[in-house]
């Protein structure tokens, strides 16, 4: 994935770590988490 900056990558990784059994092949869920972890000013 392409991240805006290091802070975005860290927020994304932290969000993923909160899900114990996250199916990383569920691209809709991964996309939603990716967008929710972007900077709120966007």
pLDDT tens column, 1-42: 788 889 889 988 888 887 767 677 788 888 888 888 887 765
Which pLDDT score is estimated for 41?
A: 64
Q: Locate tokens 């199916």: which residue?
A: 23
Which long-range CB contacts under 8 A does 2-10 form with residues at least 24 apart? 4/38, 4/39, 7/39, 8/37, 8/38, 8/39
| pLDDT value for 20 | 64
Q: What's the rounded Cα separation, in Å, for the pair 36 and 8?
A: 10
Global pTM value = 0.62
């Amino acid at each position: 994935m392409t991240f805006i900056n290091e802070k975005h990558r860290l927020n994304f990784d932290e969000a993923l770590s909160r899900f114990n059994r996250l199916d990383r092949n569920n691209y809709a869920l991964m996309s939603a988490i990716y967008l929710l972890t972007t900077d709120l000013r966007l």
